[in-house]
Amino acid sequence: MTSVAEAFARAKAENRAALVAYLPAGYPSVVGAIAAVHAMIDNGVDAVEIGMPYSDPVMDGPTIQAAAEASLAAGTDVPALIETVRQTSGRGAAILVMSYWNPILRHGVERFAREFAAAGGSAVITPDLTPEEAGDWEAATDAHGVGRVFLVAPSSTDQRLATVTSHCNAFVYAASTMGVTGARNQVSDAAQKLVARTREVTDLPIAVGLGVSNADQAAELATFADGVIVGSAFVRLLLDSPDETSGAAAVGRLTAELAEGVRRR
């Protein structure tokens, strides 16, 4: 198993940013999602966020929502998510999960952390869980060696940045724009300011997400962030592909382009 710490350390040793990719579990199918993650790993990704599809995804834009809805309709559940982690860990990239809090709570907080760790997972991103309400989650993740990732945003005050980052132990997720996820033509200039402010209160790696869709944007973010997170651009490829095989191939090609981008600096 590759841990998040190892993934970021490897990238730092190579004087580059880490490439972090996102795909929802169960889309286009459980097997298809696993194949797409394998294609990412084979083409240079450092870490993969496997998303737990959710019926009320307040942070997700229309692209990820469309895939999540199809995944849920096909019956994707937490056991399918855990199996996806199991089938993708141990291949040279850190495997993460991004999940809204309700699916974890319903499955059982301790049970989720235990099963995720046993499957080879490294860290979990919980976008709608605040540190103030994360006592049970912190206890469970500490008990099972699971990393925690919380989010900061351009609107976060300096005090809020200090509070949120003090509860992270894997990396800090810096949302570069206000609003929901989605590929954009330009990366917000707020990202660099947010990273600089966050660095003042933590020594953890800082990864920037929301809006990256091509190698040039990845290269731009790699000049100041420790990690570059790409999601909607990958999901769009799967949505637009005629079959799972071509979808995985397209994901692999984009991964290779983005991997070149984070190394360009």
DSSP letters along 124-181, please?
EE-TT--GGG-HHHHHHHHHHT-EEE-EE-TT--HHHHHHHHHH-SS-EEEE-SSS--
- For residue 12, list its beta bridge partners: none
Q: How confident is the model at residue 84 (pLDDT cuts 50, 70, 90)?
A: very high
Q: How confident is the model at residue 220 (pLDDT cuts 50, 70, 90)?
A: very high
pLDDT of residue 120: 98
Q: How confident is the model at residue 180 (pLDDT cuts 50, 70, 90)?
A: very low
Q: What is the residue-averaged pLDDT of the chain?
A: 93
The residue among 45 and 210 whose pLDDT is bigger is 45
Taking the C-alpha atoms of residue 27 and residue 34, their distance in angstroms, rounded to an integer, is 9
pLDDT of residue 183: 44
Q: How confident is the model at residue 187 (pLDDT cuts 50, 70, 90)?
A: low
In the chain the beta strands, taken as DSSP E runs, fall at 18-24, 47-51, 94-98, 123-125, 147-149, 151-152, 172-175, 206-209, 227-230
Total domains, the chain: 1
C-alpha to C-alpha distances, 235 to 33, 36, 247, nearest whole angstrom: 10, 10, 9
Provide the 3-class DSSP secondary structure of residue 5. helix
Active site residues per annotation: 49, 60
Residue 90 sits in a domain whose CATH number is 3.20.20.70
Domain that holds residue 132: 4-263
User: Looking at residues 152-177, what average pLDDT do you find?
Assistant: 94
Residues above pLDDT 70, as percent of the chain = 94
Q: How confident is the model at residue 58 (pLDDT cuts 50, 70, 90)?
A: low
Question: pLDDT digit string (tens) for 85-140?
Answer: 999 999 999 999 999 999 999 999 999 999 999 999 999 999 999 999 999 999 99
CB within 8 Å of 207: residues ≥ 6 apart? 18, 20, 171, 172, 173, 174, 225, 226, 227, 228, 229
pLDDT of residue 265: 61
- Backbone angle region of 15, left / alpha / beta, with phi > 0 → left and psi within -120 to 50 → alpha: left
Global pTM?
0.94
Residues above pLDDT 90, as percent of the chain = 88
Q: How confident is the model at residue 176 (pLDDT cuts 50, 70, 90)?
A: confident
Residue 30: pLDDT over 90? yes
Taking the C-alpha atoms of residue 105 and residue 110, their distance in angstroms, rounded to an integer, is 9
Residue 255: pLDDT over 60? yes
Residue 1: pLDDT over 90? no
Average the pLDDT over each of 21-30, 185-194, 195-204 and give the range with the smallest value. Answer: 185-194
In this structure, are residues 176 and 195 in contact, taking their beta carbons and an 8 Å threshold? no
pLDDT of residue 178: 39
